[in-house]
Amino acid sequence: MGSLMADYEQQYGILTAGITAKIGRLSNDQNADRKALVLDVEKEIEEAQELLEQMELEVREVEASARPRLRSRVDSYRAELGRLSQEFMKVRSPPFQDGFFGQDDLYSGVSLNEEQKLRLLDNSERLERTGKILNTGYRIILETEDIGSQVLQDLHSQRETIQSARSRLRETDSELGRSSRLLGGMILRSLQHRAVLVVVGLVLACLVALGVYLSLSK
Is residue 209 domain-resident? no
pLDDT digits (tens, 9 = 90+) for 41-77: 889 999 999 988 888 888 888 777 777 888 888 888 8
Rounded CA separation 44/28 (Å):
20
Tell me the residue range of the domain where 24 lies: 2-111
Evaluate whether residue 89 is within a structural domain.
Answer: yes
Q: Is residue 28 part of a domain?
A: yes
Q: Quick check: is 193 in a domain?
A: no
C-alpha 124/C-alpha 9 separation (Å) is 28
Q: Residue 39's domain is classified under what CATH number?
A: 1.20.58.400
Query: Cα–Cα distance between 94 and 104 in angstroms, integer?
Result: 11
Within-domain flag for 37: yes
Q: Is residue 153 a part of any domain in this protein? A: no
State how many domains the chain has. 1
Per-residue pLDDT of 91-131, as tens digits, reads 876 543 433 344 444 444 444 455 665 666 666 667 777 77
